[in-house]
């Protein structure tokens, strides 16, 4: 897919270890393919994606963990599914911003999706994604935010002769008893540094609800990605 789109992946996997929860910033639907090209992973996705033509089939074939809306108890099941995949030495990937950006800044990181890894004693691996033109300038072509459609995004990518997707792993987090909020904040800071992004204070944004446990520090809060996380 990336070859067909003219996207070349440059990956720094210095800090990658088996069975880590990948926490990445979110710019485009092709983030899914960039991550999988470097670190094959199951993704966490909203339930509706399962029924999308082709994308849903691909997601189901790749151990995607589907979040069901309107069911509080489903969060416990999701936590268990994520923990089981991590315990097998496989990666699970999440986008804690909950939506996409244009790639020039970071939104608030929701800590909820980090909890399953911490509860299972598995490491959290912050992963920074950025896109670059051949002249060394940061590229906006892959952005899939706001009112940009997938078709428009794809056309913008194809209009470039070549794009560079950089994926940089940063030091592991969550191994010293930190709570999920601390890990989320540290992961956001590490990703901002690795991707060369400003670490501004963005207000939290809560996308439309996915199932959650009653709010407490030990259970997830609402989170949803705009882009279908297929592999994600």
Instruction: Flag whether pLDDT at 204 surpasses 50.
Output: no
- C-beta separation of 194 from 158 below 8 A: no
pLDDT of residue 206: 41
Instruction: Flag whether pLDDT at 109 surpasses 70.
Output: yes
> For the whole model, what pTM was predicted?
0.82
What whole-number percentage of the chain has pLDDT above 70? 80
User: Counting every residue, how long is the chain?
Assistant: 232
- C-beta separation of 211 from 75 below 8 A: yes
Alpha helices in the chain (DSSP H): 2-5, 31-38, 55-60, 74-87, 115-119, 150-158, 180-195
pLDDT of residue 73: 64
Q: Give 64-85 pLDDT, tens digit per residue.
A: 887 766 556 667 788 888 999 9
- Separation in Å, CA 86 to CA 20, 119, 171: 6, 11, 18
């Amino acid at each position: 897919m990336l070859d067909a789109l003219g996207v070349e992946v440059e990956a720094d996997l210095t800090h990658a270890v088996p069975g880590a929860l990948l926490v990445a910033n979110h710019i485009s639907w092709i983030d899914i393919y960039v991550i999988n090209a470097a670190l094959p992973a199951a993704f966490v996705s909203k339930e509706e994606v399962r029924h999308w033509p082709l994308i849903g089939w691909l997601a189901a074939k790749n151990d995607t963990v589907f979040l069901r809306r309107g069911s509080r108890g489903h969060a416990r099941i999701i936590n268990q599914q994520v923990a089981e995949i991590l315990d097998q030495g496989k990666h699970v990937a999440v986008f804690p911003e909950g939506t996409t950006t244009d790639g020039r800044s970071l939104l608030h990181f929701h800590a909820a999706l980090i909890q399953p890894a911490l509860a299972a004693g598995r490491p959290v691996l912050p992963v920074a994604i950025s896109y670059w033109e051949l002249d060394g300038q940061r590229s906006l072509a892959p952005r899939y935010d706001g009112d940009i459609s997938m078709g428009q995004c794809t056309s913008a990518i194809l209009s470039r002769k070549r794009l560079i997707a950089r994926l940089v792993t940063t030091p592991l987090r969550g191994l010293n008893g930190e709570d999920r909020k601390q890990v989320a904040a540290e992961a956001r800071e590490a990703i901002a540094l690795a991707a060369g992004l400003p670490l501004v204070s963005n207000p939290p944004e809560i996308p439309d609800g996915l199932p959650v446990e009653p709010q407490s520090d030990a259970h997830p809060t609402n989170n949803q990605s705009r882009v279908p996380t297929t592999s994600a």
